[in-house]
A and B are shown apart, each in its own frame.
Chain A
Amino acid sequence: MRISYREAMRQALHDALASDPRVFLMGEDVGRYGGTYAVSKGFYDEFGPERIRDTPLSELGFVGAGIGAALGGMRPIVEVMTVNFSLLALDQIVNSAALLRHMSGGQVSVPLVIRMATGAGRQLAAQHSHSLENWYAHIPGIRVLAPATIADARGMLGPALADPDPVVIFEHAQLYNMEDDLRDEPNEDWACDIERAAIRRPGSQLSLITYGGSVPKALDAAAELARDGIDVEVVDLRVLRPLDTATISESVSRTHRAVIVDEGWRSGSLAAEVIARIVENCFYDLDAPPVRVCSEEVPIPYAKHMEDAALPQPARIVAAVREVLNV
């Protein structure tokens, strides 16, 4: 069946709510309004205000409440509207959720799932266009996921809820309307593990490594390059923490070249971390210096043409690949 990323996420939430009474959804406008991105549409009527809880505009407060509920044996799914607002909850996520297992000497765990939209590209201007996945990927104690396909949108929530520690799921806002085929029953298409990166397109000449909203752009670039006979592999990181270094290394050792596409800003980016691991693990297999395609280091502009110019785009990816291959 052909469904959207939004619908896949909705089905995943519905499954979780229907199958486990400990699961509840909490966040701004998730209830009566049906979610800012309409992911929880209809849930309020179906599951009631106890399990679909609208919250005040206080990320610090309701993420903290989610942590408390998780400590108390519930399986909360906290929706932070976007990563931009999650900065208000950083203390709860970094100082509490990520550390309580450690600080309690293993007495407690925080089985919390935090979902948030991320990324630019929809003319929402600088304060609503951040890609700060890397900030969370820096923190030991939490797992960070970036579903970039319909199958991952459908399949990642289950194992995330089963994880005894906090999991942050980044949903790139530009992916919600993407559609793809997905079979109804759980199967190998869903690729439900939350451990491994995935090769989305096999190729021999270069590894294009990316995640989240940049995956479709990388695939477009690879398709364009293929028309010129350039055979590029696309690796979707999927799990941003812990990074699947083995898959990255295997791919780059085979292709000898890497271009990393990351919507985050270049300095201190996740792309930088990926390149560091490539150099650590594959130095003697590299046939060219790895190259990054990141966002320009500016506040993301509001004007459409300027916003487009600031973000990684297929044309820039193609140009970077050609630079590395010198073709």
Chain B
Amino acid sequence: MFDFTLPSLGADMDEGKLVEWKVKPGDAVCKGQVVAIVDTSKAAVDVEIWQDGVVHALLIEPGERIPVGTVMATLLDPGEKAPPKGGARAGKQAGERAPAVHGAAVAEGARLRISPAARKRAEVLGVDVARIEGTGPGGAVTLADIEAAAQPGVPKAAEAAPAVHAEADRNTEMRRAIAAAMSRSKREIPHYYLSETIPMARAQRWLSQANEGRPITERLLMAVVQLKAVAAALAQFPDMNGFFRDGRFEPVQAAHIGVAISLRQGGLIAPALHDVGSKPLDQLMRELADLVKRTRAGSLRSSEMSDPTITVTNLGEQGVEAVMGVIYPPQVALVGFGRIAPRPWVEVGALVAMPTVVASLAADHRVSDGHRGALFLAELRERLQRPEEL
């Protein structure tokens, strides 16, 4: 008889959630066969077994979250007889660590590298330290990592206990998370800022024509047009889209745009509208409406929290001319839109009243230079002149 334990499926994996068993007691399995699907913080992974045998007992239920090394199942060696029921080998408790199955890389006994201050802070904030990727010396988890991880929407180990205080706590925590992220941004990211006044007559005309025939539930907002235009421009400027981590820029192909959504009770969340570049406007509008609704209801998916590759903020609704934003680390750029309003404009030598918007870019100088940023804004301007192509 031997144990099948949860292997470490990567250096940063400390636990996983069983999604599904692919075998049942009595099944014969052979080396290399997929026996379970386990959800790590990154993906659902097919887990193989590394020894021939016969499944004796499955000890973990689908849905359980268990640390690496936990015995998930016991198996009989080929030809071995099953022990009598109620015998010595009852199931072990989840969480109990046991030697790894042969060949599986298990971080057995490896102690988490985390600074004492970070550990203390994590306790206060209720952050599960096992799930955090450290950015300190030697990959240690530091205070800043804890504070970044404590941002709203990211799953926390300990839920806030008393319901009465939950709202106030959430607001305080959100404030603290925003403070930590923005302080880190201003401390670490050398921002540069550019802005461009963009004529919006064509986009407005196109939008009102597009909305004319639509029932109210299917009408588009200019915000969606702007988001799509940003995604289209990003396709040509990958150095604005991605993450700066461990001293390197990691570009991301798809534009997962973090849409800054202010909450009625105060605070702000910028969850991802996924893959904006490849979706038609109608779909984006539906998804945006859903995203706003769920953000305000506090029911976001973790991917929406962790995926944004750039942020777009629109403060024009509140009537400001322009936004000079703070980049949300580890992103490398933020696009801001001000108010769309008629302003004096010279067109073909004549002064006209033109609806315009000031689009701004805050970008990370470690990754791109002002010249690239300027070209990006020019591209955004051009995209907004051809709304029909979006």
Chain A residues with a Cβ under 8 A of chain B: 229, 256, 283-289, 323-324, 326-327
Residues of A contacting B116 with CB < 8 Å?
283-287
Determine which residue in B116, B136, B187 has the highest number of CB atoms from chain A within 10 A of its CB, and name it: B116
Query: What are 6 A-B contacts defined by CB distance under 8 Å?
Result: A229-B190, A256-B117, A286-B115, A287-B118, A287-B142, A326-B136
Q: How far is B139's CA from A245's CA once the two chains are assembled, in angstroms?
A: 30
- Selected from B119, B120, B137, B190, the residue in CB contact (under 8 A) with A326 is B137
- Selected from B120, B140, B187, the residue in CB contact (under 8 A) with A288 is B140
Q: How far is B124's CA from A285's CA once the two chains are assembled, in angstroms?
A: 13
Within 8 A of A (CB), among B178-210: 187-188, 190
Q: How far is B138's CA from A289's CA once the two chains are assembled, in angstroms?
A: 11
Cβ–Cβ contact B137 & A229, under 8 A: no
Chain B residues with a Cβ under 8 A of chain A: 115-120, 135-137, 140, 142-143, 187-188, 190
Residues of B contacting A288 with CB < 8 Å?
115, 136-137, 140, 142
- Selected from B120, B135, B137, the residue in CB contact (under 8 A) with A323 is B137
Residues of A contacting B119 with CB < 8 Å?
284
Residues of B contacting A229 with CB < 8 Å?
187-188, 190
Cβ–Cβ contact A284 & B140, under 8 A: no
**Additional A-B contacts beyond A284-B116, A285-B117 (5; CB < 8 A):** A256-B143, A283-B116, A284-B117, A288-B140, A326-B137
Q: How far is B142's CA from A326's CA once the two chains are assembled, in angstroms?
A: 10
- Selected from A283, A285, A287, the residue in CB contact (under 8 A) with B136 is A287
Q: Closest residue of chain A to B247, judged by CB?
A: A327
Q: How far is B119's CA from A284's CA once the two chains are assembled, in angstroms?
A: 8
Residues of A contacting B137 with CB < 8 Å?
288-289, 323-324, 326
Residues of A contacting B187 with CB < 8 Å?
229
CB-based closest 7 A-B pairs: A287-B115, A287-B117, A287-B143, A326-B137, A284-B116, A284-B120, A256-B117
Q: Closest residue of chain B to A326, judged by CB?
A: B137
Q: How far is B115's CA from A287's CA once the two chains are assembled, in angstroms?
A: 5
Residues of B contacting A256 with CB < 8 Å?
115, 117, 143
Residues of B contacting A327 with CB < 8 Å?
188
Cβ–Cβ contact A286 & B136, under 8 A: no
Nearest Cβ in chain A — how far from B249, in angstroms? 16
Q: Closest residue of chain B to A231, judged by CB?
A: B187
Q: How far is B140's CA from A327's CA once the two chains are assembled, in angstroms?
A: 13
Q: How far is B187's CA from A286's CA once the two chains are assembled, in angstroms?
A: 20
Q: Closest residue of chain A to B246, judged by CB?
A: A326
Residues of B contacting A287 with CB < 8 Å?
115-118, 136, 142-143
Q: Closest residue of chain B to A253, judged by CB?
A: B117
Q: Closest residue of chain A to B134, judged by CB?
A: A326
Q: How far is B117's CA from A285's CA once the two chains are assembled, in angstroms?
A: 4
Residues of A contacting B188 with CB < 8 Å?
229, 327
Cβ–Cβ contact A286 & B135, under 8 A: no
Residues of B contacting A324 with CB < 8 Å?
137
Nearest Cβ in chain A — how far from B323, in angstroms? 23
Nearest Cβ in chain A — how far from B351, in angstroms? 45
Q: How far is B118's CA from A286's CA once the two chains are assembled, in angstroms?
A: 8
Residues of B contacting A284 with CB < 8 Å?
116-117, 119-120
Residues of B contacting A283 with CB < 8 Å?
116
Q: How far is B136's CA from A286's CA once the two chains are assembled, in angstroms?
A: 12
Q: How far is B119's CA from A327's CA once the two chains are assembled, in angstroms?
A: 21
Q: How far is B135's CA from A229's CA once the two chains are assembled, in angstroms?
A: 18
Q: Closest residue of chain A to B146, judged by CB?
A: A287
Determine which residue in B137, B140, B190 has the highest number of CB atoms from chain A within 10 A of its CB, and name it: B137
Determine which residue in A256, A284, A287, A288 has the highest number of CB atoms from chain B within 10 A of its CB, and name it: A287
Nearest Cβ in chain A — how far from B226, in angstroms? 32
Determine which residue in A286, A323, A324 has the highest number of CB atoms from chain B within 10 A of its CB, and name it: A286
Q: How far is B190's CA from A284's CA once the two chains are assembled, in angstroms?
A: 31
Nearest Cβ in chain B — how far from A289, in angstroms? 8
Q: How far is B120's CA from A284's CA once the two chains are assembled, in angstroms?
A: 7
Nearest Cβ in chain B — how far from A205, in angstroms? 8
Q: How far is B116's CA from A254's CA once the two chains are assembled, in angstroms?
A: 14
